[in-house]
Each structure stands twice: as structure tokens, then as C-alpha cells.
Amino acid sequence: MSTLTPDPVTTTPATHLPTYDEDAAPAVPRSALGKPTPDQRFARIGSWVGGLGLAWLVTQRLLPLDGLPWFLIAWFVLGTAVTAVTAAMTGGLVEVKDQVAESVITGAALVVVTAVLSAVVFVALRGWRPLTNLNFFTDDMSGVGPKDGFETGGILHAILGSGIELGIALAITLPLGIGTAVFMTEVGGRFARIVRTVVEAMTALPSIVAGLFIYTVFIVALGQPRSGLAASLAIAVMMLPIIARAADVVLRVVPGGLREASLALGASRWRTVWHVVLPTARPGLATAVILGVARGVGETSPVLLTSGAAGFLVADPTDGAMNSLPLFIYSTVRSGEPNAITRAFGAATVLLVLVLVLFVTARLLARQRTGPSRFRSSRIRKGRQ
């Protein structure tokens, strides 16, 4: 006979509730997580003013460090140090790290903004004289020498050439780049990893190699003449990996819950990508296109190899040499004449304005819509009727 053993008694662990001290003072929130108080703003401004005084004392009285760059460097270092000491007096180690990191990041942003503004201002000041003449935008350089004045000649042929070449390159790279990113992100697989490796390797491709590739394949092997179309293909080779890599990063950031919700509602993978993933990532995709355009619009060596410079207006991309703004700047500066160099700076100013217009246009087209579109609104009204 087997003896029956009673079931062990299961004991439920006791629940311990935390105890609160009602007489304790309320927790002091971290100042870095909220809006700074007037005292904190005064301390930060005072720290940088103190750093300014210390920088003047060090560079002008103690050390032989004359010049504005040394003064600015000393001001940044000493201002950051004074800010850290002030933060240590009012907070702990975390507050000190926050203040130092904020100072370093703000200083780096100011350096970048200053570098960009200084370059734009320098180019505009050197090239403003040709911009005051209307013929600079309406004429080409047919029959104009490097010593001629600004009353003759212009950059219409270079502007039109850059627009045509960039438009053809963008028409090629936009569907290919975004399609490649969709394949790498949404389809995946072993071949997608190979494609991602190739795209990442092509991102660092030198521009002269892209020009030589199009020259040997399109011009030498296929027997096509040097033209704006060949230059567009070379620019497209440079733009494609930039757009594909940046679009791949943007699409991978889209939350997976959106894809799962669309698939759970019965949508196919293609409709999910077209109606959910791409509209969600539209601002980031616009940024990817801007990066590609910024890489392609300033290329000189591929255009020089595949197209060549023409001093007259060419509207057909398949009809011989076609000039562009970067190539015009390069060929004009090589003359060494003061008037030609000034005209090149004027063309560089136009190039900067063109890039700015493209950037603003892309950002406006990529803005998220705050309300339902007109098409969706009409479908909703028809459904209610």
C-alpha cells in the first residue's frame, strides 16, 4: 500500500508596500530637464562673461597669443571651465556633465554656422560686381575673352547646363535610389545584404572614378560622343549611393508597428510600403534627395571628362559639349585674369543660391500634411452619401 502524502502548502509571498515619509521635503527636480530659471540664466551668462575676461587676460597679458583665433579658443575653453565650476557649486556631477556637454555642442554648432556664413559672405563679396549686370544671367560666353568687362558675357549656358544635367541625373537616381532602399529595408535577404555592402562601398567612390567609368563604358565602348547626357550619367553614379544609403537609414527608422498594423488590416506588402512606409518617411527621403543633389550639383571632374566645357548655349544634352556652373567656375579661374576670377565668384554665388532654392523647395514638398488630403476627403464624402 502506498502512503498518501499531503500536498505541500503553497505559501504566497507577502507584498511589501513602500513606505513614504510624509514629513520629507519634496524632491528637487533637475534644472537641466526643465526651463532654466532667471538665476540659472544669469549664472550661465556670467560664466561666459567671466571666461571672456579670463581669455583677454591670458592671451593679452600672460601669454604671447595674439590674434582673434587664439582669443576665441581661449574664451571657449575658459568659458566652459567657468561654467563647469558654477554648475558644481549649485549641483552635482550630473549637472556639471550636462553643462559641459551643452557648451561643447553649442560651440560646435556655432563653428559650423560661422564657417558656412563666412564662406557664403566671402564668395558674395568677391562676386557681386557681375551680378549687377542683367546680361550676366541672359547671355553666354560666345566671343567673350577673359579680359573683357562685365558688360559682356554671362552664365546662361552654365545655368541651363547644370539644370539639364542635374534633372536627368535626378530622374535616374530618384526611383533607383529609393527603390534600392525599399529593397534593402522591406524585402531583405542575403542579396539585400550584398546590395547594402555595395552601396556603402560606392558612397566613398571618388568622383574621378565615376567619370572614368562613364567615359570608358558610354563613350569609348559604346561609341557615344561626349555630351551632357554622359555628364548626367556620371553625376547619377555619384548621387545614387548617397540617396540609397540615406533613404535606407530613414526607412529603417519607421516604426515596425505601422507595418504590422497595415498587414493585419489585410493590405499587401506593396500597398503597405506605398501607402504607409513611404508617406511616413517622406521628410527623411527629401533629406536624402537633398544630400544627393548637393553631391551632384558641385561635381567638376566627371563633367570635364564626359562632356567638356562649351562657351555657348547648348540645350540638347545629346548634342556635343555642355557646360555647367562648377565647370564654368573651374575653367574661368584657370585663366588667372582678375575679371575672369571675379566672374567665377559671381557664378559661385549663383550656384550657392541655386542649391538653397533646391533645398527649400524639397523641404516644402516634403512637409507633413496636417489634415486629410483632398482626394481622401472626397472619398469620405462619397462614402457617407
- The ranges assigned to domains in the chain are 37-126, 138-368
Q: What angle do CA 156, 124, 207 make, to 5 degrees?
A: 65
pLDDT given for residue 125 in this prediction: 92
Cell digits for 376? 481622401
| Residues 243, 199 contacting (CB under 8 angstroms) | no
Going by C-beta distance under 8 Å and a sequence separation of 6 or more, which residues neighbour residue 82? 47, 48, 50, 51, 54
Can you count the helices (H) and strands (E) in the chain? Answer: 17, 0
Q: Is 45 helix (H, G, I), strand (E, B) or coil?
A: helix
Rounded CA-CA distance 50/106 in Å is: 18
Rounded CA-CA distance 91/97 in Å is: 10
Summarize pLDDT for 276-331 with one digit per residue, the tens: 998 888 888 888 888 888 888 888 888 888 988 888 888 888 888 888 899 999 88
Of 304, 302, 277, 338, the residue nearest 210 (C-alpha)? 302
Summarize pLDDT for 320-375 with one digit per residue, the tens: 888 889 999 988 888 888 888 999 999 999 999 888 887 787 777 766 554 444 44
Summarize pLDDT for 186-203 with one digit per residue, the tens: 887 888 889 888 888 888
How much is the pTM? 0.73
Cα–Cα distances in angstroms (integers) from residue 293 to residues 12, 288, 322, 370, 376, in the given order: 66, 9, 19, 27, 32
Query: What is the identity of the amino acid at 4?
Result: L
Going by C-beta distance under 8 Å and a sequence separation of 6 or more, which residues neighbour residue 245? 181, 199, 200, 203
Summarize pLDDT for 321-330 with one digit per residue, the tens: 888 899 999 8
**The CATH homologous superfamily of the domain defined by 138-368:** MetI-like (1.10.3720.10)
Ramachandran area for residue 205 (φ above 0: left; ψ -120 to 50: alpha; else beta): beta
| Residues 277, 300 contacting (CB under 8 angstroms) | no
pLDDT band at 239 (very low <50, low <70, confident <90, very high): very high
| Residues 339, 149 contacting (CB under 8 angstroms) | yes
Cell digits for 102? 551643452
Rounded CA-CA distance 41/45 in Å is: 6
